[in-house]
Amino acid sequence: MSAPSDAALESRAVNIIRGLSMDAPHAARSGHQGTAMALAPLAHVLWTRVLTYDAGDPDWPDRDRFILSAGHASILLYSMLHLTGHGLTLDDLRQFRQWDSATPGHPEVGLTAGVEVTTGPLGQGLANAVGMAVAERNLRARFGAAVSDHHTFVICGDGDLAEGLSHEAASLAGHLGLGRLVVVYDDNHVTIDGPTELALSDNAAARFAAYGWHVIDLGEAAEDLDAMEAALRAGMAQHDRPTLIVLRSHIATPSPDTDSPAAHGYSLTDDGIAETKRRMGLPDDESFHVPDDVLAMYREAGARGSVARQAWQQRLAAWDGDRAAWDACWARSGLEGWADALPTWEPGQSVATRKAGNACLTALLDEVPGLIGGGADLTGNTGTTIAGHGVQSADCPEGRQLFFGVREHAMGAICNGMALHGGLLPVGGTFLVFSDYMRGAVRLAALSGAKTLFVWTHDSVGVGEDGPTHQPVEHAAALRAIPGLRVFRPADANETAGAWRVAVEGDGPTAFLLTRQDVPVLAGTDDHAAVARGAYVLVDADGPVEVVIIGTGSEVAVALDAAATLTAGGTAVRVVSMPSMDLFGAQDAAYRESVLPPGVPVVSVEAGVTFGWGAWADVSVGIDRFGASAPGDVVMERLGITPAAVAEAARGLLDRKPIDQKEGVA
């Protein structure tokens, strides 16, 4: 991008951004004005001088990525998207923070053209950007700069850097030597509670330098367009380490509330806005004022990138690389016939589902070329080993094995960034109990529709001797409660393969809850179509069904043994495997009733809390307490996850006439 030549026009343009940044929150009587006002000059420089983008085609793959990690300043981003012609209108700005608008309180990817990631929970956007930088470098190394050659830019604030997530992500980014990642730290010394000095005395520049970042301390340059452009370009020139630009800004500049903590939110109303507009030389009696020459300048900047986009399209058309692999990467799916590579297992084998998961991942590496990822210091333990494809690093940017270290939260957010960048299908693994450490990123994956694959192993008290700190009991229920997260707890190796097929074929995030311990491979679990429906009849009664037992995960085998006991006593039992509650719940009523006939009593069994099972079962055998340190089979038995306990629950249910309520049996 080339810089505009009219300094007076640029100065007025910056003030127009500031005017919009006051007017939209004022119209909503809600929002964050001050940060957007302070950073208006930086936004102007980015969108007119630095970023490579095409407002007419905001999703083309080789555009620069911009992430507003300080998502509360969303009006800054919306103002730029309107001015540069991304499709937002002034009416959209007037509808800021209103029902069903394209301008929600925090940016949401997929809702507003030009928004790359959903931000707001602080630190997430910065960590997403690390994933985007990994994705760009990996694709460039594998396919060439002709088709992947861009940068990632971030605006973050004090809140982002105060969150522990930023430490995890920045440390890994420095270790990986991620060039082409440029982060601007808005050092405005203001938080909601008051001055940052109340709780923060970090030396951010020294901290990031210690991480291995290139650090530029610009000081008081938030109004100096040329200085900011020079710093951004210096960061862009760094190819072997990320860059942090420390920019001392003054919140709500040039209003009467400059440097006031109140300006972090909605502090400027009628009189304050009018006074600020007079200081900037704008009409003080007009809201959403955008003069024609300013709009024309921004629209020209927004259209300028079409030349770069068209040149990229021509390069791609003439490119002699592996187009099938490139297209599969961007489809986040596999090459033709990829599912045929999924392994199968014979009934009677005994295989931990975490090992089956690794067998699926390994089998798909050449068939699903976008796969990349690893574990949070538990790579082998979780079955997220990617062998033979290099270890991601500055020396091996094409590597598809990514060692995240003990950084669960960053792993989740970085994987989301890779997914939302496009071109990669990221996998991140840790123990299920540590999903707590990454829940913020998991929730945002679901909210964003990011196609991230979360592998969580050691999925029950069957973990054994490590004890209750490492034995998940409430975690499956907690994850199932997240809208938009596809959760699988497969019964055996074949159901694990079916879950992998659904994950690769589908959209959005998938969670795999897998066993540490070996579990038997069962007859009838190799029907991928049945697995995709979330639940299915695994073993049916010879005659009219008297009771249904639902099992999930390792407890499907327990359900089968309980059914055998009941059948021997003359009870007609149906066993249902339910690898995914949410997928079963999404089926039509006719299918659900074909699996769980109305009026037939149902018992469920799962080695976890019974919460949530009331939707499907009349009585639930589970563990409504924490676990204990002992061998896994002993813990299971002592806590009642046994065929005998399930059979007893079924008999009690059958003896009760009528079924009076759904209940848990711990």
Strand order in the sheet with 573-577: 536-539, 573-577, 547-551, 602-605, 619-621, 663-665
Reduce the DSSP state of residue 279 to 3 states and report it. Answer: helix
**Residue 452 neighbours by CB distance under 10 Å:** 32
| Closest to 451 (Cα-Cα) out of 602, 622, 332, 609 | 332
Question: Which stretches of 177-305 are DSSP H helices?
Answer: 204-210, 225-236, 270-280, 292-304
Phi, psi of 311 (to 5 degrees): -65, -40
- Rounded CA-CA distance 272/21 in Å is 13
Residue 498: phi, psi to the nearest 5? -60, -40
Q: Are 169 and 123 in contact (CB under 8 A)?
A: yes
Query: Catalytic amino acids?
Result: 408
Write the DSSP string, 285-337. T-SS---HHHHHHHHHHHHHTHHHHHHHHHHHHH--S-HHHHHHHHHTS-STT
- Tell me the two tokens of residue 201: 């005395």
Q: Using the 8-state DSSP alphabet, how is residue 211 labeled?
A: T
CB-based contacts of 644: which residues, under 8 Å, 6+ apart?
562, 565
Q: How many CB atoms lie within 10 A of CB 436?
A: 14
Give the dihedral sign, CA 475/481/482/487: positive
What is the C-alpha to C-alpha distance for residues 492 and 552, in angstroms, rounded to an integer? 10
d(CA 150, CA 60): 11
- For residue 261, give the DSSP letter: G
